[in-house]
Structure 1
Amino acid sequence: MSTSDAVRTSTARGDAPLTLTEPPPRSLGFGDALGLWGNLGVSLLLPVAAVFVVLPGRPLTETLGAVVVGALIGALLLGIGAAAGAREGVPAMVLLRGLLGRRTSWLPTAFNLVQCIGWATFEIVIIAEAASRVLDAPRWPFVLVAGVLATLMALRPLGVVRILARYAIWAAAAAVVYLLVDVLSQPLPDTMDDGVATSFWTATDIVIALPISWFPLAADYTRHVRSGRAAFAGASIGYGLATMVMFTLGVLALAAYGSGGFDVIDALLAVPLGALAVLILVTVELDEAFANLYSTAVSAQNVVGRLDRRVAVLVVGTLATLLALSFDIVAYEPFLFLIGAVFVPLVGVFAVAYALTPRGAWDTSDTARTRPALLLPWAAGFVAYQLTLPTFFGGPGSGWTAWWSARQADLGIDPANGWSASLISLAVAATLTALLVLLGVLRRRRAPR
């Protein structure tokens, strides 16, 4: 069977085409989108990240407030990308052709490939780590099982989406509700001593990073949703609510059971029948790993349109599994901040440019014109993020962090400023984009004179 015949066969069966040469089927509605994004938000990585949002010595309600604010902001931004994907009917990295041009869109594609492989690795690690603790067994067999299952799921993405939306979400919801009811029944302290966040807004940044990490993947799935409104509502409501619930679960579990120095997984396992609930969540966690593997393949197709996504999935699934065998979860926090530093300003650039572009004029074709000027607000937003809260590689004393800390000193910026790097970065990128786009519109209007 030829490649074109295989593509038509895949599309006819209602699943995603194997390459970019065929249009995607529009087979998903609001319920499918809501179930998919709700299920993707029910991830053990979120409560594990809760330790980074806890404000030590501050009221517990303040930490929970940061969770709510961060989830709302992140979910709104995610919904913008999801809606655009449904309207244009293309994957996320192809969608960026309308922003930067075809070849220039390869730059964010490269960043996204690194992100997707990293997240897939994280997901496999957390699945294996939780399963090994629950069953008191070595971790490596679970790494292999999780990697193989996630890879197989990524071969039939739309079929998996329907299963997740109809069945898996209810199993995940039952496990989460049980855990929440238990931790809420425990005496909770007014404040917590163990925490990492230095201010309300640094805690908010961590929460924002999780929905933002899905922005460069959202259209890979919502291109199959029948309307932009359904895609926006499904992504923003589904992932937003799940983010609030899962971070809240992590914070409350640490408050109820973490006084002995436990991490979040140990705290959840301390819940009566917690092992069973965690096992359910471990099983459901496979959807996040599958989604990142699939999106890695689809992102690569922005560069090589005829690349068979099945081949790419097999290669990336093998790579992520091998990385997970030796991965150190300690690198999690800087990875989250790095995602925010790269993708938050890109979201600001995209949202403004897309809103100011007439409907039907967003060019995602192979001949999309290059717009290198829009790299400037993206870069400016990244710089603004670093000057507010420098990310680091290898530790706080790394050369990268030291250089940006020196620039903070040059500008008189307090390293402990407590500002939201995400919101400042977003505002800088969005404002500069609006100026560039409007100036470009004025020049085009004056040209005929």
Structure 2
Amino acid sequence: MSGDSGIEPIPVDKRPINSLDLLAIWFGAGISIAEFWAGSLLVPGVSLLTAILVIILGHIIGNALMGLVAIEGYRVGVPTMVLTRRPLGVKGSYLASTLNYLQLIGWTAVMNIVGARAIDTVFTILGYPSNTKLWIIVIGLLNTAWTLAGPKKWRWLERTSAVLLLILVAWLTITTINTCGGLDLGRGAGELPPLLALDLVVAMPVSWLPLVADYSRLCRSSGFWSTFTGYFVSSSLFYFIGGYTNSYLGLSDPISIIAAYGLGVPAMLIIILSTTTTTFLDIYSAAITFKNIKPGEPLNRQIVIVGLIGTIIALVFPMEEYEWFLLLIGGSFVPLAAIMITDYFLVA
């Protein structure tokens, strides 16, 4: 992986991706079953109108933070956890790196689970017996192998997947509206406090903050709008679809929702693709994060370790705690992002 495998600054003329590639990375990251799942937690907890407002506001807040970190990563040319050395000191950055390392392993486990469930659904439709644990292992190995390929080889996958995933989003949106018969903006029980709903939305883009500079440092142009736009569009829409379908169909499991629509194998295969384009970011950034603590650690060895641990945890991960897992992440990294952004853009 040459220069992009370490924590030293990468000269602009040596960077392997452009702004379109970066936009595709974050667009693909936002089209994820995780967003679908999180959106289903909003409605009927709040009304559909409140959910839409919360989704838009939450993503504006979270994506603006992502964009600012992207600028810093582009200018300095180092990973996010290395950037924390300035405001926190070297030892302080080790604490941030440890928390980030742990949460990225957790996200790897989550995405292995949802990807495996999608695969399992595909094969069940085809008449094969269900075996989710087998598919957790298979997709865990696939995600790890793709991460090992490195940034230069990711480009064609990200560009291809962005087009396919855009088609899926349009397909799901049209099918959702046709199936549910329109928009009832007042639909929802209103049992979830709006501020808690907002926190649940902000937590998703905020959870990406410790990864943002890992990829903007690879870009030959400033990454604010590529990062902001790519993730804002896809994640917001998937949040909405998740909440909307749950309110009308009463299904909080995105795999069950897609199966209920009868979208078939093609939709499931694209969901699997989106899971891969999301999870390899978690694995790669976890490995880069570890190198902030131990710079001499071989990147590929860490990729294998993270992929293995994430796969093992996925076999026993309690999906019922998903909502609180998101809130925990938001509570940990919002203050860190505030410190980084304030230090770089105001103090410096």
Same fold, TM-score > 0.5, yes or no? yes
Please say which of residues 156-165 and 85-94 is displaced more in the overlay: 156-165
Indicate whether 1:53 and 2:42 are aligned. Answer: yes
1:237 partner letter: T
Alignment of 1:45-444 (within 5 A): 45-56=34-45, 59-136=47-124, 137-186=130-179, 187-188=181-182, 190=184, 191-193=186-188, 198-228=192-222, 231-258=223-250, 261=251, 263-358=253-348
Q: Distance in 1 between matches of 2:5 and 2:183?
A: 53
Instruction: Flag the 1:66–1:22 CA change in 2: closer, same or farther, 3 A.
Output: closer
Q: Residues 205 and 327 of structure 1: is their aligned pair in 2 closer, same or farther, counting only changes over 3 Å?
A: same
- 1:386-442 deviations in Å (ceiling 9; x for gaps): xxxxxxxxxxxxxxxxxxxxxxxxxxxxxxxxxxxxxxxxxxxxxxxxxxxxxxxxx
Shift of 1:262: 5.4
**How many angstroms does 1:27 deviate by?**
2.5
Give the drift of 1:84.
Answer: 0.6
Amino acid at match of 2:158: A
TM superposition outliers: structure 1 runs of 4+ over 6 Å:
none
Deviation, structure 1 residue 74: 0.8
How far did 1:29 drift? 1.6
| 1:160 shift after superposition | 4.2
Deviations 1:97-141 (A, max 9, x none): 111111221011110011110000100011012222332221012
1:209, 1:337 within 8 Å by CA — same for their partners in 2?
yes
Distance in structure 1 (CA, Å) of the matches to 2:158 and 2:280: 14
Contact 2:117/2:132 (<8 A) preserved: yes
Relative to structure 1, is the Cα distance of residues 234 and 189 closer, same or farther in structure 2, using a 3 angstrom cutoff?
closer
Q: CA RMSD in A?
A: 1.9
Q: Does the Cα contact within 8 Å between 2:97 and 2:292 map onto a contact in 1?
A: yes
**TM-score normalized with structure 2 length:** 0.92
Show CA shifts across 1:21-61 (max 9, x none).
Answer: 574632222111111111111111101111222254x5422
Deviation at 1:216, TM superposition (A): 0.4
Per-residue CA deviation, residues 196-241 of structure 1 (Å, 9 max, x unaligned), is: x61222111111111100100111111111233xx11111111111
Equivalent residue number for residue 18 of structure 1? 5
SS in structure 2 at match of 1:150? helix
Alignment match, 1:27: 16
Q: Is the 8 A contact 1:188 1:256 kept in 2?
A: no
Structure with greater Cα Rg: 1
Q: Give the 3 Å change call, closer, same or farther, for CA 27–283 of structure 1 in structure 2.
A: closer
- Tell me how far 1:252 sits from its aligned partner: 2.1
Distance 1:34 1:189, change over 3 A: closer
The unaligned stretches of length 5 or more in structure 2 are 125-129
SS of the residue corresponding to residue 270 of structure 1 reads helix
| Contact 1:93–1:299 (CA under 8 A) maintained in structure 2 | yes
For CA contacts below 8 A with separation 6 or more, give which structure has more relative contact order.
2
Residue 157 to residue 354, structure 1, CA distance change in 2 (3 Å):
same
Gaps of 5+ in 1: 1-9, 359-449
Identity over aligned pairs, percent: 30
Query: 2:313 & 2:143 partners in 1: Cα distance?
Result: 14
Question: Is the Cα–Cα contact under 8 Å of residues 154 and 293 in structure 1 kept in the other structure?
Answer: yes
